[in-house]
A and B are shown apart, each in its own frame.
Chain A
Amino acid sequence: KQEVTQIPAALSVPEGENLVLNCSFTDSAIYNLQWFRQDPGKGLTSLLLIQSSQREQTSGRLNASLDKSSGRSTLYIAASQPGDSATYLCATRSQGGSEKLVFGKGTKLTVNP
């Protein structure tokens, strides 16, 4: 059974810092991996989707990498801003295109002005 872990559960950084959020998974046979952000009281916003054949994806100041062999993905945020404060979640989908995503419990990021 796939398990997805995000450590740390919370992270506080000063504005302008480059930072890395971690996502690890136990079963490397994934079809894709998706990163989301969630603001308090809101739904999940999709940030990046990485297919199993890809090593990384970029969107603006965000860069997500995928290393299936080690069961890890990282989300790199460049030049962090207070508006980046949110909870970031990752989720994996198993090979075969399973309908079931397995979510991590998220990392709550606070960017201090």
Chain B
Amino acid sequence: DAGITQSPRHKVTETGTPVTLRCHQTENHRYMYWYRQDPGHGLRLIHYSYGVKDTDKGEVSDGYSVSRSKTEDFLLTLESATSSQTSVYFCAISGSSWGAGELFFGEGSRLTVL
């Protein structure tokens, strides 16, 4: 158990509404990541963080923002959700201080945008 909790686990929302997903870790790791998983596309990196208030974009960052005000929490926000953002979102942490170590994943948050 890598000590990663995602919330909510399931959410249904309407187009145009804001949505925030939360990732909480108990491991005190520096690096945290948000991925989305879609059929036919596999796992794609949205954003990642390498410390408090230090974040960077991944390959599919458009329409998403992130924040990290505490080591243990990494928030993913969809400012105005669209149907194309219907997906399963996974948070991950890196089991090393430099971010290139073994990756551990949370259980996922399934988001449906109607």
Contact = CB atoms under 8 A, between A and B. Distances in A.
Q: Is the interface of A mostly helix, strand, loop or mixed?
A: strand
Given A99-B50, A99-B56, A100-B59, A43 B102 contact: no
Interface string B94-114: 000011111111111000000
A112 interface: no
A89 B43 contact: yes
Which range contains the number of A residues in contact with the other chain?
Answer: 20 to 34
A31 B103 CA distance: 13
Contacts, number: 57
A33 to B, nearest CB: 11
A43 B42 CA distance: 13
Interface in A17-48: 31-32, 34, 36, 41-46
Interface of A: 31-32, 34, 36, 41-46, 49, 89, 91, 93, 97-101, 103-106
